[in-house]
Amino acid sequence: MSTGELLGYVGATLTTLSFIPQAVMTIRTRDTRGISLGMYSVFTVGVACWLAYGIALGSWPMILSNIVTLVLSSTILAMKLRYG
């Protein structure tokens, strides 16, 4: 594994893990008042684009991290839509 690929995995892991506390708190409390619908809508579409780009490049760090981030951000977005 190259240094660049290792940096990709570390960066992808850290940025992806940063969504877990927000997702857990939102799922537990169902409180979405402090979450911006516009931001999460745009962010979720952006993550889907990054995932497609990672697939096009065949970049596993991008693919794996964006799959997880897409699931987490989609969960938060769905809860925002459901619970307001």
SS (H, E, C) the chain: CCHHHHHHHHHHHHHHHCCHHHHHHHHHHCCCCCCCHHHHHHHHHHHHHHHHHHHHHCCHHHHHHHHHHHHHHHHHHHHHHHHC
Q: What's the pTM?
A: 0.84
Q: How many domains, the chain?
A: 1
pLDDT at residue 31, as a whole number: 92
pLDDT tens-digit profile, the chain (84 residues): 788 888 888 988 898 888 889 889 998 999 999 899 999 999 999 999 999 999 999 988 889 889 999 999 999 999 999 988
pLDDT at residue 71, as a whole number: 94
In CATH, what number is assigned to the domain containing residue 59?
1.20.1280.290
| Structural domain range at position 62 | 3-83
